[in-house]
Amino acid sequence: MRCITLWLLVVLLMPKGNHYEYEINVFIHADTDSVVVEGDLLRGQQEGDEFVQYVDGNVQVTLESTKVTADRAIRNVTRRTSTFTGKVVLVDDGDTLRADSLHYEEEPEIGYAVGNVRLSDGEVVAMAPMGTHYVEERRAVFPQGLLLEDSISVLTAEAGVYQIEDKVADLTGNVKMESENAELTSDSLTHYRDFAITLARGSVLYLTVSGEDSTWIAGERVERNAKDSLSIVRGNPLLVHFERDLLSVDTLIIGAGAFRIQESKEGFRLEALRDVRVWKTSFAARADSVVYDRPENEQHESAWFYGEPLIWADDIQLSGDTVGVVTEEGALDSLFIRGNAFVAEEDSLTKRINQGRGKGLVGTFRGDSIRVFRIGPNAEAIHFNSSEDGELHGAWEASGDEIIMQFWGESLRITFSTDVQGKRHHESALPDTLALDGLRWEPNLKPIRERLLSHPLVSTLRWTR
């Protein structure tokens, strides 16, 4: 048991049985550390092997650098513990803890706070129904809910730990992080305030809003660096972007193995990796990777697809080594293929595949039905002829330096220029399979909106904020 080496009492003591009462006193206990106890009414008494102080009214207890004020206090001098009730305020090294009640252990310097708990270090405010404050470690544990707020964001969770010195928050259970024009939810989250880095884990949903437009991102893990405006999303993420105007909503959906997202004043860039699937109101695509750019305050967007890309514009399938797509106000504007360009379209009547191929391709789109593809050099084409009732009338197979394939509605026109060579296949001699080298006709791989939206996290999305 620790020995009490000095008691100093100010004001005349009034004996009452086995204890003393005194009013408006300063009560000093000196041992290896000094404790100053002040209050309107103080009473000290021996209770078995322990000496206990009862303080009532304007309580103030000072323990080295720690000062606690309250309406009432009971201090066990022998055990070196104190229980404070009523408007409790603990101040230590710039940290301020407020609560309805506080049990404080002097030796390990731990405070157990209950009721309207509020902890602040001057930059961050933590609010909770209860919490444990490790004063010397500058660490706070909140087991029954937490709200953490600074000048940039607000975090809430079912439980959490805040490292005050390191400025690190570890939160678990229905975590939500809100900031201007952004919201993130997850199962757990670690936030490094000094570095503005957030690691969110488990069923992560991330929403950003810009004017009338909004972007939802779902994944199993998000690593976000707010200073660099950079996010890495893992765990088969899904992006859903809504672009609104007065008359319509243009939707973009991207699924992949991982995302790298860079935001800046210039705009938004998404790099998607591994089994990329894209569905947009005006086209669909599939590739190993894509780089998607949306400039700020611009009406056009662009995407470059790599790794055996397939693009679908209506029922037309395009492929090549690298494919670039440009949209204007949500509609397809132009398309570029570098290396092994291929165009394929199934004739709706004969079910045969019209084809065109060449070294490269430039495509333009006008309105909802006119598509023009300029293919070359080393261009080749196959076109199946049919009557209006769907009867097959043979096919043309030709090559040239350049060809133009023009689609409008269900009609197709092919024009050749320079060094044209070709032949006609009569319907009676038409082979069962007539295809150019490199044909990949895979309509079953075309991404479908409903399939992409079958992502397990989509059911939890709120489409408006």
Q: What is the pLDDT of residue 56?
A: 95
User: Model pTM?
Assistant: 0.83
Per-residue pLDDT tens digits for 9-65: 444 444 445 555 544 445 544 343 578 999 999 999 999 999 999 999 999 999 888
Query: Does the pLDDT of residue 418 top 70, yes or no?
Result: yes
Q: Which residue has the tokens 């500058």?
A: 138
> Distance between CA atoms of 215 and 242, rounded to whole angstroms?
6
Fold of 236-464: lipopolysaccharide transport protein A fold (2.60.450)
Looking at domain 24-144, does it have CATH number 1.20.120.530? no
Per-residue pLDDT tens digits for 104-118: 999 889 999 999 999
Using a pLDDT cut of 90, give the percent of the chain over it. 62
Per-residue pLDDT tens digits for 177-217: 998 888 999 999 999 999 999 999 999 999 988 777 888 99
Per-residue pLDDT tens digits for 270-289: 999 999 999 998 899 999 99
Which ranges in the chain are annotated with CATH 2.60.450.10? Answer: 24-144, 236-464
Q: What is the pLDDT of residue 381?
A: 94
Q: Which residue has the higher pLDDT, 455 or 71?
A: 71
Structure tokens at 375: 């293919």
Q: What is the pLDDT of residue 13?
A: 44
Rounded mean pLDDT of the chain?
Answer: 87
3-state secondary structure the chain: CCCCCEEEECCCCEEECCEEEEEEEEEEEECCCEEEEEEEEEEEEEECCEEEEEEEEEEEEEECCEEEEEEEEEEECCCCEEEEEEEEEEEECCEEEEEEEEEEECCCCEEEEEEEEEEECCCCEEEEEEEEEECCCCEEEECCCEEEECCCEEEEECEEEEECCCCEEEEEEEEEEEECCEEEEEEEEEEECCCCEEEEEEEEEEEEEECCEEEEEEEEEEEEECCCCEEEEECCCEEEEEEECCCCEEEEEEECCEEEEEEECCEEEEEEEEEEEEEECCEEEEEEEEEEEEECCCCEEEEEEECCCEEEECCEEEECCEEEEEEECCEEEEEEEEEEEEEEEECCCCCCEEEEEEEEEEEEEECCCEEEEEEECCEEEEEEEECCCCCEEEEEEEEECEEEEEEECCEEEEEEECCCEEEEECHHHCCCCCCCCCCCCCHHHCCCHHHHCCCCCHHHCCCCC
Using a pLDDT cut of 70, give the percent of the chain over it. 90
| Pairing mode, strands 238-244 and 213-225 | antiparallel
Q: Using the CB atoms, write b or e for 202-240: b if 16+ within 10 Å.
A: ebbbbbbeeeebbbbbbbbbbbbebeeebbbbbbbbbbb
Average pLDDT over residues 158-187: 93
